[in-house]
Structure 1
């Protein structure tokens, strides 16, 4: 089928090229109708997510707001000159129709000490905006940001809205920086691999087509579903790497096939061999990406969707645009040769890769044990991994919103406290019956007695002079009959079914002690008539990890089963897919260990410019799903070529050596290009993208330089003829439904397996 497609493309090469270009134009045009990438709401399936939704639905929601912090080295925040300058700087915000109000320390005639820093040299204002869509709020903040200026005071703007805005801006800057680095570097490496300007330009052009299509497809999907802002980075990272990778395989095989063959035959043969490997590589990468969609943590699922889209476009252009260009160029694909670079000499005779594989296959057990032990040892730091949701530290140290949050935490009273929201939910009846008020009183006193709890804010501790019975009598009255301060407290913390209690601790939100406190509140609280629910950042951390643990088995089963079936249809072997899985585990082990050693323990933090801390909860899952498919990339190319040689010669050992010799230079070049693309993203200022880029680069290096070079020859030598074995029913199934490069050739010759393992 693939051979026939190659011949079809040759006959209609100009039409196929035109349709590919029209497809590019169409996707570029449709991009203007795409949605907007942004932040993802936390999964509502968790206790923390459901509780947050309850609070938002049943209590008067506060207006969207952010902080504007003013600082002076000389002036105190209470001095008239400081006050006047701060009020003057805030005046443009007060005049804006999008601003609901501006609260300062000086409202009401008295200075509010909560708004003044501990050293008295800083003060902040709270800017409240009118309700609008998330997209509109981002636009409003961008417009208002530059309105606040002062020649006497330093100004920093911070809060959730500024942080989200900066995440998007920095993510876009990271993307542009990575493109500037990766495209020229990839072109240089392609020139070294091909030795021809024309041949080197083809994969890069195919990559551009794939990226444009995938970005448009992702943005169009964003109109109908929430997709994280990181999706654009993932699309560019994978799109460039995969498209160049697949183009490299196909172009190199085409250059090999045109020696002595007509162009149409060479193109058909190229797609039935290298194209077959690319197709199955795309399938395995897409399987890994689709595995992410099994996770209810929305960031993971949205990256999986974006990753699947880019794989589809990469494979699509590898089978349309790329063969059409090759059909048009023919032997001119080798035009504009690079001096002193002679890639055509590769794969001839018993070269370096042939000699290396034969040497390894003389000592297979020794190589397998030593190399496997080293890779497992590199993964040891992963045993000490700490996972948490990303916080403001995911932004670079010089980001304005991060500096503002750090000032609020470190320099203002109560800024370092971690709020935990405890919600009492009742299915029926009023939350303020005498019995339930008494239970709320008991729960409040129990919370106040817990270690590391600094203070508790509840309806039943507003006045320490009142006891349980007095609160029961007072709060049982109609809300309209309550004193004004108490009425405001009731309106702000009591809903139709809920009562909210705020617990403040000075524990770090990601610490084990904070998590233990949340777990204790959930499991050991005093008996109440309804449910006790907990939310807040620490609760989000706990629930996200639990959610991931629950979803891992489903995703893992999907990835392993579907990948196994795909590899069996490619290779017709029972054992080779299992071997490939085990090799992937070793690659991932080294990559995971490196991530913990670098990003959690802080090694190279100065060089890579980041703040060490817990690993993002989603990162191990994203890396596993992405790398499982990417690691199969070279495995598929190598094993499919080895299988070709085995079907030609019937000699397992010779097939391994020849297959490695034929693919050694191409896989090495492809790996170097892919590593270059991924390393370009380690210059990102957002920690998640930096971590993903470095993790993928390490895994690809390990896979191409160690697993493919050392472990594959050793394990295939040990398995011998078992590499190609399948029980009778499965063997018949493969002969009927499997896709074999030689199966499309009229002169296919089947060899009887011989024992080459003695």
Structure 2
């Protein structure tokens, strides 16, 4: 199927690029440019939780609680207090005009300067605050903030007083700006560096441009798709950064593998048409199934109820799918147009002597691992398990101002407010009480105020309305959120009274609970799904099982490294972040991404081993051949992905740093000790068991095209076959007709096993050495 697809791409090589590029540019122009105004800041909650129900009841009864939207902190000039007549009057005038001049954006302003409320000024009267409530619900709140943001800093000096901006909406805006900076950094820094790396890898400007074309187009297309989704469902603003990171990195990786294989085909003497078809049938097929692994891992996010995770899945899946689609449509067509010109504008010679592949470092490293297989296996597994140990100390929390850099102005203002006015919280814990009379409400009020960990007593936010009362209180420290919620759940409620625990602290706790309730189901789904896919790719049940175990080992080590960094604080000063609890949705997200990337590289590596094995190579030779022919490409791909991730590692947002450094750690582990050492060592220990699978699995793999590999132009001298008529070839041994699929590996370069292989195992049979051409005739007759 993929071979034919390559032929079609070659036949329509002039039409395909024009149609695809025009289509993607049109999609981005019509939809992608609208993404910014369609994205949401929401989606972190479990829509089925008590906290969500509490928020809905409060919104329907009283409207949105906007008291913590924006906090303006006023600091008196040196030698004065805020009660100084000049300072007090100018501050009051400024706030009055702010409300009067922006009625469409500001709902109310409550300040110390209005009625001299003693609770709104510090004991020394040098710091006071004004609470600015914004108009609108949901996304309109942030739009209202941005419309008046410049006016929140007074143009006059207010008698020398200084103003800082804090509050929940101000923090959300700073987080949003940080993510926008991530995208720009990727465009301005990562792309040029990646371009230089590709030129170094390929030694040709034209060849280097091919993966970049796929990367840029996949990003534009996926942003267009994301914008379309955002017009119909909630898409969190964080999705854009993840889409850019994954889409750009994987698209360039896929392009890298395709270009490398096409150049390899040309170097073997194929004409352009055959080289294009062979590239699509081999590297293209692998790209599609590798993308399938990543998509399966990301689709596991749909198990969770949070809209945030679903929106990330929508965007990332569209980016990965589009990258794979472009790799098997646009690139083959461009290859057909370029032919040998793919090496044009070369800066260095990159031709390799294929007969010397065993002498390359990429073959010598796995050869050493094979020679010391037991020591390598035990040693690397011990290292990976050791790196996993910090994961035992992981802690979880919610998104807040601590996800901003320590020197961020909004974060510093929020910290000052929390410290100066401990009885006020912009994110309080709430009790939404329905169906209670005055006596019952008093009973609940008395129990609630006995809860430990609060900044003060619960108090009603507004008078009771339609039998509904909302009580609100602050929590002393975020580390006590879970304990406070647990105590509130234990309240003894009168008959007929309902109490819903709401507010941001409850939302965070219930979100964590929902995630860990669904996490086992996600794990089962992605493990089973990727196992089935890899079984169809490899025609084996042992190789997928090995791959999944190694992926889990690498994932555990990655999460351990992240915990040591972001919870325990290793490197916090260097990378400008504050250690603390992790957002549980981001942990789930990194699990999906790292699992998908690991299986992605596994497919690229082992597919080449399987390809060699099906042509008669022994297990050890197949291991070395596959590693030698993919090691440099996988390393280059990992390096490019690390560069892209590195751009996001400088993000101002901790959760983006978490994802970027998680991917960097996973890529380093995966491309070095796991793929180059652990995989060869374990496969050597498994020997012939690597290739075992029931007959129906091999048949299924064969029907999907994995059992038929291209045939070689140059015929090897001889190969061992049974003298008696052979049974119907299995998926592991059946060759393709030479006129349809030319082979890419000369068998004389392989250590060919002299016993026939059936069902993945060697069997005894009399054999003789015959010319390769005679072998082809016999197999065709059979």
Normalised by the length of structure 2, the TM-score is 0.87
Whether 2:226 is the aligned partner of 1:210: answer: no
Whether 2:569 is the aligned partner of 1:568: answer: no
Residue from 687, 696, 715 that aligns with 1:720: 687
- Whole-Å separation in 2 of the counterparts to 1:321 and 1:200: 15
SS in 1 for 2:82: coil
Which residue of 1 is the match for residue 245 of structure 2? 237
Residue 353 (structure 1) shift: 1.8
Greater Cα offset, 88-97 or 284-293: 88-97
SS in 2 for 1:128: strand
Greater Cα offset, 347-356 or 624-633: 347-356
Any unmatched runs of 5+ in structure 1?
A: 460-488
Cα distance change, pair 670–741 in 1 and its aligned pair in 2 (3 A): farther
- Whole-Å separation in 1 of the counterparts to 2:429 and 2:29: 47
- Whole-Å separation in 2 of the counterparts to 1:718 and 1:585: 20
Whether 2:75 is the aligned partner of 1:84: answer: no
Is the contact made by 2:701 and 2:707 (CA closer than 8 Å) also made in structure 1?
A: no
Whether 2:50 is the aligned partner of 1:43: answer: no
Whether 2:305 is the aligned partner of 1:296: answer: yes
Cα distance change, pair 605–657 in 1 and its aligned pair in 2 (3 A): same
Is the contact made by 1:444 and 1:456 (CA closer than 8 Å) also made in structure 2?
A: no
Whether 2:140 is the aligned partner of 1:149: answer: no
Is the contact made by 1:227 and 1:303 (CA closer than 8 Å) also made in structure 2?
A: yes
Whether 2:60 is the aligned partner of 1:52: answer: no
Which residue of 1 is the match for residue 258 of structure 2? 250
Residue 136 (structure 1) shift: 4.2
Which residue of 2 is the match for residue 494 of structure 1? 464
Whether 2:465 is the aligned partner of 1:456: answer: no
Which residue of 1 is the match for residue 713 of structure 2? none
- Whole-Å separation in 2 of the counterparts to 1:699 and 1:568: 23
- Whole-Å separation in 2 of the counterparts to 1:103 and 1:692: 40
CA RMSD of aligned residues (A): 2.3
Is the contact made by 2:290 and 2:600 (CA closer than 8 Å) also made in structure 1?
A: yes
Which residue of 2 is the match for residue 672 of structure 1? 639
Is the contact made by 1:425 and 1:499 (CA closer than 8 Å) also made in structure 2?
A: yes
- Whole-Å separation in 2 of the counterparts to 1:254 and 1:113: 75
Which residue of 2 is the match for residue 104 of structure 1? 111
SS in 1 for 2:357: coil
- Whole-Å separation in 2 of the counterparts to 1:133 and 1:15: 48
SS in 1 for 2:235: coil
Greater Cα offset, 80-89 or 271-280: 80-89
Residue from 598, 623, 637 that aligns with 1:656: 623
Which residue of 2 is the match for residue 482 of structure 1? none
Question: For 1:535-577, what per-residue CA distance to the aligned partner results, in whole angstroms no more than 9, with x for missing partners?
Answer: 2333223211110012113322221222112111111101111
SS in 2 for 1:649: coil
Any unmatched runs of 5+ in structure 2?
A: 710-733, 744-755, 764-782
- Whole-Å separation in 1 of the counterparts to 2:593 and 2:14: 35
Residue from 170, 177, 180 that aligns with 1:169: 177
Which residue of 2 is the match for residue 356 of structure 1? 365
Which residue of 1 is the match for residue 27 of structure 2? 27
Which residue of 2 is the match for residue 534 of structure 1? 501
- Whole-Å separation in 2 of the counterparts to 1:216 and 1:444: 51
Whether 2:737 is the aligned partner of 1:746: answer: yes
Cα distance change, pair 716–455 in 1 and its aligned pair in 2 (3 A): same
Is the contact made by 2:242 and 2:316 (CA closer than 8 Å) also made in structure 1?
A: yes
- Whole-Å separation in 2 of the counterparts to 1:84 and 1:642: 79
Cα distance change, pair 677–62 in 1 and its aligned pair in 2 (3 A): closer
Residue 342 (structure 1) shift: 3.3
Residue from 707, 710, 716 that aligns with 2:677: 710
Residue 525 (structure 1) shift: 3.3
Is the contact made by 1:193 and 1:343 (CA closer than 8 Å) also made in structure 2?
A: no
Which residue of 2 is the match for residue 95 of structure 1? 101
Which residue of 2 is the match for residue 280 of structure 1? 289
Cα distance change, pair 414–721 in 1 and its aligned pair in 2 (3 A): same
Is the contact made by 2:64 and 2:137 (CA closer than 8 Å) also made in structure 1?
A: no
Cα distance change, pair 270–348 in 1 and its aligned pair in 2 (3 A): farther
Residue 378 (structure 1) shift: 0.4
Cα distance change, pair 115–10 in 1 and its aligned pair in 2 (3 A): same
Which residue of 2 is the match for residue 558 of structure 1? 525
- Whole-Å separation in 1 of the counterparts to 2:122 and 2:93: 20
- Whole-Å separation in 2 of the counterparts to 1:50 and 1:737: 49
- Whole-Å separation in 2 of the counterparts to 1:497 and 1:569: 61
The structure, 1 or 2, with the larger RCO (C-alpha pairs under 8 Å, 6+ apart) is: 1
Which residue of 1 is the match for residue 168 of structure 2? 160
What aligned pairs does 1:408-419 form with structure 2 within 5 A after superposition? 408-412=417-421, 414-415=423-424, 419=428
Residue 425 (structure 1) shift: 3.4
Is the contact made by 2:418 and 2:425 (CA closer than 8 Å) also made in structure 1?
A: yes
Is the contact made by 1:227 and 1:299 (CA closer than 8 Å) also made in structure 2?
A: yes
Is the contact made by 1:393 and 1:402 (CA closer than 8 Å) also made in structure 2?
A: yes
Is the contact made by 2:47 and 2:305 (CA closer than 8 Å) also made in structure 1?
A: no
- Whole-Å separation in 1 of the counterparts to 2:449 and 2:103: 43
- Whole-Å separation in 2 of the counterparts to 1:549 and 1:193: 43
Cα distance change, pair 754–455 in 1 and its aligned pair in 2 (3 A): closer
Residue 135 (structure 1) shift: 4.4
